[in-house]
Amino acid sequence: MERTMMNYCGDCKVYVDGCLKDCPLCGKRLTDSPSENELYPHVAKKKFVDRKSLTMEYLSFATFVVICVCIAVNLLTWSGHPWFLAVAAPVLYAWVLVRATILSDLSAGLKAFLQVVTLTAMFLAFDYVGGNGLGWSYQVLMPLLLAAGIGYVDFYSYYHKSYWRENLLYAFFLLLLGFLPLILYLFGVQIAFAPLVLSTFASGITVLGILRFALRQIKLEIQKKFHM
C-alpha cells in the first residue's frame, strides 16, 4: 500500500490505513503525514562507556600508585631493608591475576606462563625480604610452580586440540624454564629433590609430546605431497 493512501499517528509514530480517522493503538486523531521533525527526528548521540575497560584502567592506575608509593617511602626511610618488595610483588601479581588471567581473552598458554613467572617472582620477593637471602623460594616453590604450569598447558592442549598452535610457543618457553632447576642443581645450587624431579619430568614429557606431534605432522605432509 502506498504511503499517500495512509494516515499517520504522531504519538505512536506509525502509519495506518487511510480509511481510518483515529489511531487503532491510542485512539487519537490521525494526520495525513508527519511533520518534518517527525520524519527526521534528532537523536542525541550517546557515548558508549566500556565499564570493564574503565575498571581495568582504574585498577592499573591504583596498582602503579601503590607500587610507586611503597618504593618512595622505602627509599625515604631507607634502613638497608627493601621491604617494598613484600608489598609491590603481591600487588603486581594481583593485577596480573585480574587483568591478564581472569578478565582476559589471552590464550591459556600465555596465562599459565604469566602466572608461573609472577608467582615465582612474588615468592622470591617474600623469601628475600623475610630471610637472609634466597632459599625455599627457588629450592622448592620454583620447580613446583614450573611443573604445575607445564602440566596445565599439556593437559589443556591435549583436551583442546584446536588451540595447540596458540599454546605451543608458551609451552616451549615453560619447558625450557622447567629444565632450569636441573641446570642449577648441576652447577651446585641446592634444589629440593622431589620438586626437581617433577619439573624435569614435566619438561621431558612435553619435549617428547612436541617431537611426537612434529613427526606426525611431517608424516602427514609427506603423505599429502606424494599422495600416499
pLDDT per position as a tens digit, 83-138 = 898 899 999 999 999 888 888 888 888 999 999 999 999 999 998 888 766 788 88
Asked if 25 and 36 count as a contact pair (C-beta separation under 8 A), the reply is no
Residues above pLDDT 90, as percent of the chain: 26
Q: Quick check: helix, strand or coil at residue 8? A: strand
This prediction has a pTM of: 0.67
Which residue is listed with cell 612434529? 214
Mean pLDDT within 53-64: 84
Is the confidence at residue 33, as pLDDT, over 70? no
Asked if 191 and 185 count as a contact pair (C-beta separation under 8 A), the reply is yes
